[in-house]
Structures are given as C-alpha cells and as structure tokens.
C-alpha cells in the first residue's frame, strides 16, 4: 500500500510537470474537445434536460477515457524517453501498483476540466435539473456504475500498455480505439442508427453500457439491472484481458531481451 501511495505521488508530480511543459498541446486538445461538446449539443438542441444530462455525462466519460488510454499506451515510451524506465523495472513497487497509480493520477488531473465543460453545457441547456431530481440512493448507485466503468477502462488501458511492451509505438492504435469508443458510445448519436453488424460491436465498449444505464436512470427513472450486470462484466473482462496481454508481452520481452530496448 505504501508503495502504491509513493507511486501515486510521483505520478501526480510528473503529470503536473507535463501540464506545464506541454501546455500548448493540452490547450489545443482541450479546444478540440470543446468543439466536440458543442457539436453534440447543437446537433440535438431541443432535447429535454434529462436527455442532455445523460449525453453530457457520456461526453465527460469519453473525455476522461481518452486521456487514460492515451497515457497508458504511451507510458513505456515516455518513461524510456525520460530515462526512468530502468528505474521502474528495478523498483520495489510492483508493476501493477505503478500502472494503477499512473491511471489514477491521469484521471484525477483530467477531472479539473470537467467543471469548465459543465459550465459551457449549462449555458445551452439546464441539464443539472435532471441530476438534482434524483434520490440520493440513485446517485450512489450511479457513482458505483461510474466507478466500475473506470475499472473497465483501466483494464483496457493496461491491455494497451501490454501491447506497447512488444510493439513500442501503439499511439495510433490508441487513437483509433478512443474514437471507436466515441462512435459506439451512444451519446454522440444513437447506436440504433448503425447497421446491425456494427451495433454488435458496441457491446465491447464500457462507455456504451455506462451511458445506457445513465440514460435509463435519468430519462426513464428506472434502474436497468441487466445493464448494470454488463458493466460489472466489462470491468472484470477488460482487466482480465489487460492482465493476460501484459503478462504475455512481459514474458516475451524478457525472453527476447528487449524489455529495455527502444
């Protein structure tokens, strides 16, 4: 536990330094996300506040997922570039604690931008009314579903990390995955409008299930138990995939002697 806390502190310090050094790059990326948010809201300007609240939640979730997946897919390359990869390999902190710390730090500092997104959205639609009308128990359940979704996304990120051990530059793969999550999430446009064979791919996305559960809660006022079970399955399944991919890539790299070659 102590090792995890130290790893988290180090990850937060490193992330703060990245914000300072790459502030222009982050600013451009933030501007693009704002354009996506405005396009989403202006595409359906007359939806009731409950619908818009669910869609804004889906957008925020996708924004955080994009940061998380991009970080995890480039983590090995970043550490190798900084010259700290060997230190991580020889540290007493386990690899899994290191990965969790990196993911949590990325999410915590990315949450800073959720408030500006909410302010921008509030000028276009009174979406907050849907949230304030919810009973406290429903809010707690929603937080639980959101937490499980982040667990699933973290597992997806660990899988990308595992791939990057063997195939060093997987940034393009992560970008493809990020926009696939947007495409299949359901909040940008209804998944039901896609061809049937494409709709079946949406079930692999944690965002699809989280948005479906939240939409049922806010729009219909019901708890979608089967969807909640799917979110739980996603969190377990993606972590299993991440573990297996990382374990296999780690073993292969050690046998080939390429674990520290970049």
Q: pLDDT tens digits, the chain, 262 residues: what are they?
A: 666 776 777 777 777 777 777 777 777 877 888 888 888 888 888 889 999 999 999 999 999 999 899 889 988 887 777 777 787 777 787 888 889 888 888 888 888 888 888 898 888 889 988 888 888 898 999 999 999 999 999 999 999 999 988 887 777 788 888 888 888 888 887 888 888 878 888 888 999 999 999 998 998 888 877 888 888 999 999 999 999 999 999 898 888 877 776 6
197 lies in a domain? yes
192 lies in a domain? yes
112 lies in a domain? yes
Gyration radius from the chain CA atoms: 19
262 lies in a domain? no
Q: Which of 225, 210, 214 is nearest to 139 (CA)?
A: 214
The CA distance from 3 to 12, in Å, is: 14
261 lies in a domain? no
Structure tokens at 193: 């409008």
Domain that holds residue 180: 2-256
- As for how many domains the chain has, the answer is 1
């Amino acid at each position: 536990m102590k090792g995890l806390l130290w790893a988290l502190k180090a990850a937060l310090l490193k992330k703060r330094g990245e914000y300072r050094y790459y502030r222009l790059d982050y600013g451009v990326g933030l501007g693009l996300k704002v354009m996506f948010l405005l396009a989403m809201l202006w595409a359906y300007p007359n939806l009731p506040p409950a619908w818009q609240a669910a869609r804004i939640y889906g957008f925020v979730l996708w924004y955080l997922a994009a940061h998380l997946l991009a970080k995890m897919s480039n983590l090995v390359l970043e550490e190798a570039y900084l010259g700290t990869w060997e230190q991580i390999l020889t540290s007493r902190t386990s690899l899994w604690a290191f990965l969790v710390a990196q993911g949590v730090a990325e999410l915590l500092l990315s949450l800073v931008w959720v408030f500006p997104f909410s302010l921008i959205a509030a000028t276009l639609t009174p979406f907050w009314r849907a949230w304030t009308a919810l009973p406290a128990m429903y809010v707690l359940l929603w937080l639980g579903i959101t937490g499980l979704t982040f667990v699933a996304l973290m597992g997806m990120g660990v899988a990308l990390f595992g791939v990057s051990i063997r195939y060093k530059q997987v940034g393009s793969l992560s970008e493809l995955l990020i926009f696939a999550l947007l495409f299949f999430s359901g909040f940008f446009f209804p998944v039901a409008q896609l061809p049937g064979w494409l709709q079946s791919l949406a079930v692999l996305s944690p965002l699809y299930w989280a948005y479906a559960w939240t939409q049922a809660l806010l729009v219909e006022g019901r708890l979608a138990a089967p969807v909640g079970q799917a979110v739980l399955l996603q969190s377990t399944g993606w972590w299993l995939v991440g573990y297996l991919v990382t374990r296999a890539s780690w073993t292969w790299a050690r046998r080939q002697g390429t674990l520290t070659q970049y």
